[in-house]
Amino acid sequence: MGEILRDAWVVARKDLALELRTKTGLVSAAVFTALVLTVFNFGRDPTAVAALDLAPSILWVTFTFAAVLSLNRAFQLELENQALEGLLVSPIDRRSLYLGKLFANLIFVGLVEAVGLPLFALFFNIPIINILLPLAGLIAVATVGFVAVGTLLSALVIRVRFAELMLPVLLLPFLIPPLIGAVQVTARLLSGRPLSEVSGWLRLLLAYDLVFVSLATMLFSATVDE
């Protein structure tokens, strides 16, 4: 297992180095996040619906679309000069390749969310300082599930035409359960309710992470091998 994780980190480090070199994906996703929040901010009638009622859904819709945008690039990197072929010929375990992509995507999506969260608080005038720790924890738990499934599916669609369109079509149905859970827990957190009220949703999110990280790690080989 140690060797698998070490190889995974080699892959993740390379992906992050590539991203930091160009910053194209990171900047695009961060700008996209800011734009979506802006559109939602000006597209709602504050006299009709309270910001607090809409805020949890808007936060998660924004993060979901930003994650999809980010995940699209995960395997696009490997199409350049057919590097994917080299990765598959190399002796690293396929699980290392998947986990490496997962780590890099988690860091990448996490950075985008770190940009989006303060903007969300600013646009919707919602104080999050007091709940920052549990909210960050919730975002982390929900993001692991999103990204685990998204990383697998981005590998699946890499060789098909219109991969950018196929990924959201395949991914979004899988995201419905964690999205519902994340919205429910966020709503309770923003209302100042105790987390014990949503312990069932939290358990669902954790179970989703566990099941999909394990499943995706096992199934990854079938998606990349011809």
Partner 1 sequence: MLWADGVRHRFGAVPALDDVTFTLPAGHTLALFGPNGAGKTTLLKILAGLIKPSAGRAGVEGGRAGVGWIGHQSLLYGQLTVRENLRFWGSLYRVRGSVLETRIDALAARLDLGEQVDRRVATLSRGQTQRAAIARALVHEPTILLLDEPFTGLDRVAASELAHLVKAFARAGEGRATLLVTHNVEEGTDLATDIAIIKAGRLVEFAPRNARTAEQVGARYRELVS
Name the site residues for partner 1 (rule: CB under 8 A).
Answer: 7, 10-11, 14, 17-18, 21-22, 77, 80-83, 85-92, 225-226
On whether the CB atoms of residues 168 and 68 are closer than 8 A, the answer is: yes
On whether the CB atoms of residues 105 and 151 are closer than 8 A, the answer is: yes
The residues, any chain, with a CB within 8 Å of residue 65's CB and separated by 6 or more, are: 32, 36
Q: Please report how close the Cβ of residue 225 comes to partner 1 at its closest, in angstroms.
A: 7
Q: Which of 133, 102, 109 is nearest to 209 (CA)?
A: 102
Q: Nearer Cβ to partner 1, position 19 or 209?
A: 19
Q: Please report how close the Cβ of residue 55 comes to partner 1 at its closest, in angstroms.
A: 38
Radius of gyration of the chain (CA): 18
d(CA 101, CA 116): 22
d(CA 13, CA 77): 13
Q: Nearer Cβ to partner 1, position 45 or 225?
A: 225
Q: Nearer Cβ to partner 1, position 179 or 224?
A: 224
Q: Please report how close the Cβ of residue 99 comes to partner 1 at its closest, in angstroms.
A: 14
d(CA 128, CA 72): 30
In this structure, what token pair is assigned to residue 96?
């290392």
Q: Please report how close the Cβ of residue 6 comes to partner 1 at its closest, in angstroms.
A: 9
Q: Nearer Cβ to partner 1, position 207 or 218?
A: 218
In this structure, what token pair is assigned to residue 22?
């160009």
Q: Nearer Cβ to partner 1, position 47 or 81?
A: 81
Q: Which of 31, 105, 33 is nearest to 74 (CA)?
A: 105
Q: Please report how close the Cβ of residue 93 comes to partner 1 at its closest, in angstroms.
A: 11
Q: Nearer Cβ to partner 1, position 5 or 136?
A: 5
Burial class (CB within 10 angstroms; exposed 0-12, middle 13-18, buried 19+) of 189:
buried
Q: Please report how close the Cβ of residue 27 comes to partner 1 at its closest, in angstroms.
A: 15
